[in-house]
Structure 1
Amino acid sequence: MKPSYLTLTLFLAICSFSIKSKAQDKPNIILINVDDMGWKDVGFMGSKYYETPNIDSLAAMGIIFTNGYAASSNCAPSRASLMTGKWTPRHGIYTVDASERGLSKHRKIIPTKNTVTLSRNYETIPEILGKNGYQTCHAGKWHLSNNPLEYGFQINIGGGHNGHPKSYYPPYKNVNLSADKGQYLTDLVMEKTLDFVDSTEFPFFLYYAPYAVHTPINPVKSLLAKYSVKPASEGQDNPKYATMVENLDRNIGLLVSKLREKGIFDNTLIIFTSDNGGLYGITKQGPLRAGKGSYYEGGIREPYIFVMKDKIKPNTISHVPITNLDVLPTILNYAGISENTSKTDGDNLAAILEGSKTELERPLFWHFPIYLQAYNKSDNENRDALFRTRPGSVVRYGDWKLHYYFENNEVELYNLDEDIGERNDLTSKEPKKVEELLNYLKDWWASTNAPIPQELNPEYEGDI
């Protein structure tokens, strides 16, 4: 006996309902990746100058990592590692534009050639989630190609290859958004982001990557008077930058409010971090040394929050060292996706987030086989006044951190538990620890096929 049309229709409707119900059981995922926000540029990490009440409130709802890192100390490589879960030698993006930064006469060796566009050979977070029923939206800064829609995003709000806007006030020029109401750029990006949350089907993945708080430092004029009279605190004293931080905080508050309004906050995983350290001279991260572009802690250590109701205990602090390579496998875990996790260089943090583990023993690595010039020769905390970073690699294992420089095969060794500011080089006092960390680094170079620049630059004149 053949099934009737009505029976078949009912069967298909039940199947459709079952698939939709299963999809809606998956959590929404929001990844917030701020631009150039330093480790201590938020209240929950100790800033007394910048005001971030909404971000601080979010931090109280979940777990804070005090030893959270970006995979690189500048924008593009950090974002490539975040999206792919891969160490920088695998995708070859080390900086923005050319690797020959600074004057040639000061560069002793020829740096590794840089890659400027993320290869399509690597699957990204939105591609994997999109194949598994997620609606995907990119909002803000992309910086890895001309078009994020080619990398798994279904909606793009203002993302392109540009690293920063030419202005936060319209016309933005190099950001493809029209400001009908003359909005400050981050306000416009959030307005369109809220439209996405309002109109999308569930579950969704939102990559909210505001251009803020990257230069140009265009202050929010209505907030400037307040910070102009506010006392400085531990090297943080820039009123214009402070208004940008507060504006960012306001917009994140609007996003959280929208989630609550729609009744979906409790079923949303929220991750908050930054792509690299704060720009030294604009902001400072004391007691951490240096800032963006450096591989001292001020350049790579970031604020980190993970929030998910009934999964992650609120008001929790972890000192476990993590990296933004861990974000991809962690997101896939909460999305219920088992594929691809073995192909990443990061670790699934779910056990740490949910409290069943309190340790994660592994070395973390950074590789920068190029040069990055200094901004200010007279005011910096770099190794030398000419460069924020010279070609080298870094490894952290436990409390120990070793810097290795390719020009002269020099090393620096620090115990971060006793010397978080990296002021006391223990190389001569701890030769066995130097050897141990160098062995980790050499094995990692081999496993990732990391390029080691050695060719001498014929134009080198010495360091002046």
Structure 2
Amino acid sequence: MIKYIIIGLLLVFGTADSFAQLKSENSKKPNVVLINVDDLGWADLCFMGSAYYETPNLDKLSTESKVFLHAYAGASNCAPSRATMITGRYPMTHGIYTVDPADRGDKRTRQLIAFPNAKAIQDSLYTLGKFFKDNGYRTGTFGKWHVSDDPLDHGFDVNIAGSHRGNPGKDGYFSPYNVNLKAKVEGEYLTDRLTDEAISFVRENKDNSFFLYLPFYTVHSPLMGKPELEENYRNKKGGKGQSNPVYAAMIQSMDENVGRLLAVLDNLNLTDNTLIIFTSDNGGIRATSYQDPLRAGKGSYYEGGIRVPLLIKWQNQIKPSVENTPVTQMDFYPTLQALIAPSGNLELDGESILPLLREEELVERDLFWHFPIYLEAYDSKEDDSRDPLFRTRPGSVIRSGDWKLHQYFEDGGLELYNLKDDPSEGNNLATSNPEKAQELLRKLEKWRAENGAPIPSTKNPDYDPAFEKAEIEKALN
């Protein structure tokens, strides 16, 4: 069982009062800092149990935060996860189900025609950027945007290095960059530079209310760390599936830069009036870093693909604690609305988790995911997916309490797991507990009907079952 170092440290730091009343309408509204790391796995941090990666700044932040152990991304890969978080809506609204195209993988191994996939969120959607701007905030985004061409069209006053681009490209972490950013110093590191720009934004707006969105490109491939940090890990003993010194160096650089930003907030006396959210856009790539005990990784709807780290800090307002209630990143938007503009009437699909931040119970609810698309395998021997050719085939998922049901559209397959007893999703109970499987399936079907979730049904004329069988056998040998 993972030993969370935060549990002991909370005895020292967990003395904050319960969630205090907001200041009067005439006082400065709280700043919001949302840090979103790219492809950082649930177990890729020291405070989440890793004995290999070194994250002292985030370890400290965890002792000052509410730490959510069952936090979920809205999707298992970058673009749909970000679109869902930034709009507060399911993919059925913004239309992004995957990083385009939706029919990845050999066409001869796909039984169905994937549902069409949008490449960008619509300008008409009321994003978090627009929400904050309309409520008097200065807004800035620094890093990977990935859901449209320009975040300035979606409520942001400042955009540094954000576009439709999903990764830094070949050799892209050291200048000269491939992203739209000119180096100030030859050979500078992208993670450092984005943090420099974020810090400048904080300094320039220290007397205003601001929303700072810091979606680091790191730790997305290509794996490129600072050589001096890589050396720290080359002779360090790793654990099962966590032993890549380059990836570890990238994580350490990210941690150092989070520490730099937090130090500036402290030095400017802004910490008391700043809500800080730290998370990742989806699970980590399993071939790079195992998320044990969680199964699989990025691109999969097993736990390793969608469960993510999540810290929320607001000094003297949110009591540091460990929270086991399942939440989703789609909850950020309604939570921030309830905090900043509670009289607003926005159509959002998530739910405010202010009760949890106040140390109150949240009414139990079910969480849903829908993916009418295909994602090909990264590494057939490492992915730990349902089959070795795809991380994801078309289907839907529901988490209801400790139970989780996967439904697959190609063959009607059902997988039922009790996450409390089986977080690795290794023991399919759909046959031995058909009553629970059918109960969750009915909930899933009702949700799909209510939300207009499309189910692909057109047969793929290029599908070749003999070829698929041969490819599966080849991958397994």
**TM-score (normalised: structure 2):** 0.91
Per-residue CA shift, 1:82-112, capped at 9, x if unaligned?
A: 0111111221101112111000000001000
Q: Which residue of 1 aligns with 2:296?
A: 290
Residue among 129, 148, 152 paired with 1:149: 152
Larger Rg: 1
For the structure 1 residues 38 and 254, does the alpha-carbon distance in structure 2 shift closer, same or farther, using more than 3 Å as the test? same
What's the secondary structure of 1:25's corresponding residue? Answer: coil
What's the secondary structure of 2:70's corresponding residue? Answer: strand
Q: Which residue of 2 aligns with 1:383?
A: 386
Residue among 425, 436, 443 paired with 1:433: 436
Per-residue CA shift, 1:348-368, capped at 9, x if unaligned?
A: 1111011022x4311100111
List alignment gaps of at least 5 residues for structure 2.
Answer: 1-23, 472-477
Per-residue CA shift, 1:287-331, capped at 9, x if unaligned?
A: 1000000000000000011100122102x0010000000000111
Per-residue CA shift, 1:382-410, capped at 9, x if unaligned?
A: 10000000011000000000000000111
Q: Which residue of 1 aligns with 2:114?
A: 111
- Offset, 1:157: 1.1
- Pair 1:345-2:340 in alignment: no
Which segment is superposed worse, 325-334 or 409-418?
325-334
Residue among 124, 128, 131 paired with 1:125: 128
Q: How do residues 396-415 of structure 1 correspond to structure 2 at under 5 angstroms?
A: 396-415=399-418
Alpha-carbon distance between aligned partners in 2 of 1:421 and 1:340, rounded to the nearest angstrom: 40
Q: Which residue of 2 aligns with 1:361?
A: 364
Paired letter, 1:64: V
Q: Which residue of 1 aligns with 2:447?
A: 444
Alignment check: 8 A CA contact 2:403 2:418 kept: yes
Q: Which residue of 2 aligns with 1:199?
A: 204
Alpha-carbon distance between aligned partners in 2 of 1:336 and 1:76, rounded to the nearest angstrom: 27
- Offset, 1:244: 0.3
Q: Which residue of 2 aligns with 1:317?
A: 322
Alpha-carbon distance between aligned partners in 2 of 1:279 and 1:361, rounded to the nearest angstrom: 30
Q: Which residue of 2 aligns with 1:177?
A: 181
Q: Which residue of 2 aligns with 1:454?
A: 457
Q: How do residues 185-224 of structure 1 correspond to structure 2 at under 5 angstroms?
A: 185-200=190-205, 201-224=207-230
- Offset, 1:380: 2.4
- Offset, 1:152: 0.3
Aligned residues: 441
- Offset, 1:59: 1.2
What's the secondary structure of 1:165's corresponding residue? Answer: coil
Q: How do residues 236-251 of structure 1 correspond to structure 2 at under 5 angstroms?
A: 236-251=242-257
Per-residue CA shift, 1:189-231, capped at 9, x if unaligned?
A: 1111111100114110001101011001012111011101111
For the structure 1 residues 215 and 134, does the alpha-carbon distance in structure 2 shift closer, same or farther, using more than 3 Å as the test? same
Q: How do residues 12-23 of structure 1 correspond to structure 2 at under 5 angstroms?
A: 22=25
Alignment check: 8 A CA contact 2:241 2:288 kept: no
**Percent identity between the two aligned chains:** 47
Per-residue CA shift, 1:329-351, capped at 9, x if unaligned?
A: 1112222443144x111111111
Q: Quote the RMSD (CA, aligned, Å).
A: 1.3
What's the secondary structure of 1:272's corresponding residue? Answer: strand
Per-residue CA shift, 1:113-136, capped at 9, x if unaligned?
A: 110110122101110111111110
Q: Which residue of 2 aligns with 1:11?
A: none
Alpha-carbon distance between aligned partners in 2 of 1:311 and 1:35, rounded to the nearest angstrom: 28
Paired letter, 1:59: S
**TM-score (normalised: structure 1):** 0.93
Alpha-carbon distance between aligned partners in 1 of 2:402 and 2:381, rounded to the nearest angstrom: 31
Residue among 306, 323, 331 paired with 1:326: 331
Q: Which residue of 2 aligns with 1:3?
A: none
Alignment check: 8 A CA contact 1:24 1:202 kept: no
Alpha-carbon distance between aligned partners in 1 of 2:342 and 2:198, rounded to the nearest angstrom: 25
Paired letter, 1:347: E
Alignment check: 8 A CA contact 1:402 1:437 kept: yes
Alpha-carbon distance between aligned partners in 2 of 1:150 and 1:337, rounded to the nearest angstrom: 25
Alpha-carbon distance between aligned partners in 2 of 1:340 and 1:144, rounded to the nearest angstrom: 24
List alignment gaps of at least 5 residues for structure 1.
Answer: 1-20
What's the secondary structure of 1:64's corresponding residue? Answer: strand
For the structure 1 residues 247 and 23, does the alpha-carbon distance in structure 2 shift closer, same or farther, using more than 3 Å as the test? farther
Alignment check: 8 A CA contact 2:90 2:349 kept: yes
Q: Which residue of 1 aligns with 2:427?
A: 424
- Offset, 1:22: 4.8
- Offset, 1:23: 6.0
- Pair 1:266-2:272 in alignment: yes
Alignment check: 8 A CA contact 1:289 1:298 kept: yes
Alignment check: 8 A CA contact 2:76 2:301 kept: yes
